[in-house]
Each structure stands twice: as structure tokens, then as C-alpha cells.
């Protein structure tokens, strides 16, 4: 991942635009009625958002547009990789959970990685909406935003998609697995 630099060099911007546009055009079912040119204009005006999308891309998220809020004139990007992004796995839920581990600590935690990338973990609702656009996390799972009352008791939520259904589970927030990462969203 790129560190402490929220703007991409011109060549990298152009390459990312090509990748995002190709994915956008290949998956029109995710954003019917939307036009790439308007999204590109928004991204041009918000280089820090483009930087965040690059972070999503380089960690294996394959971000794509999944929504548009007309009132706010805001597009929502989400990680659309078939499985939880490989560059964001083996993370516990948050810093408190990471610090509570006495042995075998993971390298980082999902909340801090998302914050550093300029994105947010999906909510359970956003995760369910994503599953309307395809079958994601059929072999992996993804941390989702966890209500504070669950988090205060040491737990955290994650989701996956099996047997044609979204499942929401709980685990100790300090747990981490090679097949569990997180999916992020970004509003532009």
C-alpha cells in the first residue's frame, strides 16, 4: 500500500481510470443508468478519493460503482472481488482487539486499515445489498461494522454467502483467519 500520499502520479491515475472504466462497463448490472463520464469527472475533482480507490484496487478489492444518491450527487464504490480482498485478510477487528491479544498477534486490524485507506467497512445492510449484485464471499468471509453494544462485550460481526443466503456471524473481535478480510465502501 502507498503510505501518507493522498494523490496518485499522472500515469498511475490514467491506468487506474482505465481499470475502473473497464470494470464499470463490464458490470453494468451493478449501476444501471449511470454514465462513466460523470463518475470520472467526480473522481478528477477528488484526487484523494481516487487514491483511496487505488488502495482498494492494490489490495485486491476490485472496486466498482454500486449506487448513486441523487440528493447528495454522490456515487458509492464498493469492493466487488469474488472473495474478501486478499490484501486485507488475517486482520482482527479493531485496535482494542489487537492490543488485547497476548500471543500470535496479526499484523493489523480491519478498522485501522480501512481508515488509513480512506474507506469504511460495509454495514450488514450494505453487505446484503452487495449480494443482490452477485455471489460474493462464497469461500471467504468479511468483517462488517459492529454495533457498539456487541463490541463492548468483546464481539464483532462478519458475513459470508453460502447456500444462496447471507449469513451474519459473531466472533471474538481479536480473532483473525486467513479467509477473513473486510470489504470497504467509498462515497464520491
State what percent of residues in the chain have pLDDT above 90. 94
Query: pTM for the complete prediction?
Result: 0.92
Q: Where are the domains of the chain?
A: 10-79, 86-183
Query: Greater confidence, 13 or 2?
Result: 13
Do 174 and 100 form a contact (C-beta atoms < 8 A)?
A: yes
| ∠ CA 42-20-133, rounded to 5° | 100
- How far, CA to CA in Å, does 150 sit from each of 39, 124, 145, 146, 176? 37, 14, 11, 7, 17
State what percent of residues in the chain have pLDDT above 70. 97
pLDDT band at 6 (very low <50, low <70, confident <90, very high): confident
Cβ count within 10 A of residue 107 = 10
pLDDT band at 102 (very low <50, low <70, confident <90, very high): confident
168-188 pLDDT, tens digit per residue, is 999 999 999 999 999 999 999
pLDDT band at 3 (very low <50, low <70, confident <90, very high): very low
For the domain spanning 86-183, the CATH number is 3.10.100
- Give the model's pLDDT for residue 53: 98
44-74 pLDDT, tens digit per residue, is 999 999 999 999 999 999 999 999 999 999 9
DSSP state letter for 174: T
- Give the model's pLDDT for residue 7: 86
- Give the model's pLDDT for residue 2: 41
Amino acid at each position: 500500500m502507498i503510505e501518507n500520499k493522498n494523490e496518485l502520479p499522472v500515469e498511475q491515475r490514467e491506468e487506474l481510470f482505465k481499470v475502473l472504466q473497464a470494470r464499470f462497463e463490464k458490470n453494468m448490472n451493478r449501476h444501471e443508468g449511470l454514465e462513466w463520464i460523470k463518475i470520472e469527472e467526480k473522481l478528477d475533482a477528488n484526487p484523494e478519493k481516487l487514491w483511496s480507490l487505488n488502495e482498494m484496487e492494490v489490495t485486491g478489492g476490485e472496486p466498482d460503482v454500486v449506487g448513486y444518491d441523487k440528493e447528495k450527487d454522490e456515487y458509492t464504490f464498493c469492493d466487488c472481488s469474488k472473495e474478501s480482498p486478499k490484501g486485507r485478510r488475517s486482520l482482527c477487528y479493531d485496535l482494542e482487539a489487537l492490543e488485547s491479544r497476548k500471543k500470535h498477534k496479526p499484523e493489523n486490524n480491519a478498522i485501522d486499515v480501512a481508515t488509513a485507506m480512506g474507506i469504511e467497512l460495509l454495514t450488514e445492510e450494505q453487505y446484503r445489498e452487495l449480494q443482490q449484485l452477485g455471489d460474493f464471499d462464497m469461500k471467504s468471509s468479511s468483517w462488517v461494522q459492529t454495533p457498539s453494544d456487541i463490541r463492548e462485550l468483546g464481539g464483532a460481526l462478519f458475513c459470508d454467502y453460502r447456500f444462496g443466503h447471507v449469513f451474519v456471524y459473531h466472533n471474538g473481535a481479536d480473532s483473525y483467519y486467513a479467509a477473513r478480510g473486510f470489504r470497504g465502501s467509498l462515497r464520491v
